[in-house]
Structure formats: C-alpha cells, structure tokens
Amino acid sequence: MPGKDYYKILGVSRSATEKEIKQAYRRLARKYHPDVNPGDTSAEARFKEINEAHDVLSDQKKRRKYDRFGDRWEQAEQFSEAGPGAQQGFRRGGTYTTSDFGDFGGVFDSMFRGFETGAGTGRRSAVTKGVEHPIEVTLEEAYHGTKRVLQVWGEEPCSVCGGRGKVREGVRSKPCAACGGYGRGMKPKRLEVKVPPGVRNGSKVRVAGQGGAGHDGVKGDLYLVVKILPHKLFERKGDDVYVEAAVPLVTAILGGEVKVPTLKGNLALRIPAETQNGKVFRLARQGMPHLGDSSRGDLFAKVKVVLPTKLTQQERQLFEQLKVSRPN
C-alpha cells in the first residue's frame, strides 16, 4: 500500500477494534503532545501523524476507504472513476491538530471528540461538539443541590510564540515548535460547577464554553451527565420519594405518633388506631424538588409494623388473654 501506514503509526493491527484504536491514540497523543515536548520538532511531527491516523481509522466510513485506497482515500471517488493509473501523483493535503482537552480525569478521556473532517477535500472543517462527562450524585445532593470541582484544560496563548504561531529565526519566521504553529496551548485549571436541586438520572448540567473546540477557536459546551446513586432508605420514582415507616405494634393498634425519615430530617406522622401493616401515607411536598422550579414531589411512607421481642412474663400473659378473647 503506498503512502503512510496509519495502522503502523498507531501501533495497532489492521483488524484492531474501535476501542483498541482509541486507546492507542490516547496513549500516543499524551506522550507526543507539543506541550509535553516543548522544542522537540520530531515529537511535533509525530503528534501530527498520530492525529491524522486517528482521524481516519476512528471513522468507519473513512477507514473502509483508506483500506482500499491508502492515504489518498479522500480522492476515493475520483480514483474509482479514473481507474488505478490515476492514483499516481496525488498528494494528501491538510494537517490536523487536536485542541479539545477536557477534564483531566473523566473529561480528559473524552478529549479527542471535538473535530470532524469535511467530505471530499483535504481540508478540515471546524466543527465544534459538546463533550459529555459522567458524575455520580447522592440522593441528598440531588435534593439539596451540590457542586463539583473539575480539573479542565483551558486554552491559553502559547508562552513561546505569544499566540502568533510563529517564531523568529534570524530574518525569517518558522512555525513554533512548542504549539505546532497553532498559536495556543492547553493549561490545567480548576472549574467549579453547580449541580442544581432536582437533577435525575441522565440529567445534563451544561457548562458553556468548556467542551470541544474547532480550528476557528469556537468552543462547544461541557455536559455533566448525572447518575443518582442508590440510597439505603429512600427509593425515588420521578420526583416522588418512597420510604418505610417503622411503627410499633402497640402504636399500630391503639394509634399514636411516629417519626418518618425524609431527605431534610424526621417528620412526625400521626398513626390512626388499628392501622394495618403495609398502609401507605402520603406526605405532600416532602419529595424531590422539581428541576427548574419551586414545586416538589410527595413522600410516600409505607407502614412496617414492628413486633415486640423479649417479652416479659406479664406481657406474655396479656397476649395470651388477647388470644383467648380474639382467637381469630
């Protein structure tokens, strides 16, 4: 196959899966990024090759064309029409630089999603995309609202070329090796994000301008995708919350007051006499807050009658008398 071997550049086999290609790309990109190798022109060239290889092999349609036409896959239609001889003399144009580095942890794993390739040409279109990052939130945090502090990579002018992309060498200028001629570098910074009350599983918290960036510098958004962790006491259904209320046997029979746990503390619940096990009481507006407004769901407390243990002799005699008077 003529031209560059993208599989060899990434160090994977031609039968490599999408996951294997992505893992190889991330590993190599971290190793050869210009910010990690300032002034190393060979690392800069290697980084560009790695990006170019991943750009093609991570896209199934492009990969099929590449497997057939080699690194001149972008002229696939012309080659098909003109025949094998027409493949000679073509050169692949364009370069590719990744600038989408999200959160250093989970968002960093999504750092290479911000670009697409324009069809039919060797130039890249500057398409911005949102970057998604999962976060885990307890039910209490979802009730009250919370914060998350992320370490993200923000774009800053390159410290070597001052954002110009070029440096002077004698009377001439040349592309800056530190940023690959891009003019900007990536620096880690802390970002505090508010998670509003009422979020659900799958809710997305939008952080404007912290997602992927195209070559025109326009950045997309970062979306924190919420996962609500299970709770040992409460079960959430929509914005309603379900919980068991422990009721002593005597209280269930004679009536009285018990404490019911809620997400903001215990509430007193009046239990009528002769309340049956499993009866459900509705406590209005004691559930989850509705996302985006002041209304709330309800709390449903299911009675769980607690039978007495370690009876005294007198208590046992009382139950024996009850058994005689009410055999059924």
Segment 250-264, tens digit of pLDDT: 999 999 999 999 999
Helix (H) or strand (E) holding 121: none
In the CATH scheme, what is the code of domain 235-325?
2.60.260.20
* 241 pLDDT higher than 70: yes
In the CATH scheme, what is the code of domain 97-114+128-229?
2.60.260.20
Residue with more model confidence, 154 or 4? 4
In three-state form (DSSP H/G/I as H, E/B as E, the rest C), the secondary structure along 200-217 is CCCCEEEECCCCCECCCC
pLDDT-derived band at 85 (thresholds 50, 70, 90) equals: very low
What's the chain's average pLDDT?
79
Q: Residue 324 has what pLDDT?
A: 92
- Residue-wise pLDDT for 98-148, tens only, equals 223 333 333 433 433 333 333 333 333 334 457 888 999 999 999 999 999
Q: Residue 275 has what pLDDT?
A: 97
* 4 pLDDT higher than 90: no
* 174 pLDDT higher than 90: no
Q: Residue 98 has what pLDDT?
A: 27
Number of residues assigned to the chain: 328
254: left (phi over 0), alpha (psi -120 to 50) or beta: alpha
- Joined together, the tokens standing for residue 162 give 């001052």
- The reply to whether domains 97-114+128-229 and 235-325 share a CATH topology is yes
Distance CA 160, CA 318 (A): 90
Q: Which of 147-161, 167-181, 255-269 has the highest mean pLDDT?
A: 255-269
Give which of 274, 281, 276, 283 is closest to 255, Cα–Cα: 274
pLDDT-derived band at 190 (thresholds 50, 70, 90) equals: confident
DSSP string, 234-287: -EEETTEEEEEEEEEHHHHHH-EEEEEEEBTEEEEEEEPTTPPTT-EEEETT-S
* Burial of residue 93 (number of CB atoms within 10 Å: 0-12, 13-18, 19+): exposed
Structural Rg of the chain based on CA atoms = 32
Residue with more model confidence, 188 or 108? 188
Instruction: Calculate mean pLDDT across residues 25-41.
Output: 83
Please, which residues bridge with residue 241 across strands? 236, 299
Q: Residue 115 has what pLDDT?
A: 32
CATH match of 1-96 with 1.10.287.110:
yes
Instruction: State pTM to two decimals.
Output: 0.56
**Ranges of each domain in the chain:** 1-96, 97-114+128-229, 235-325
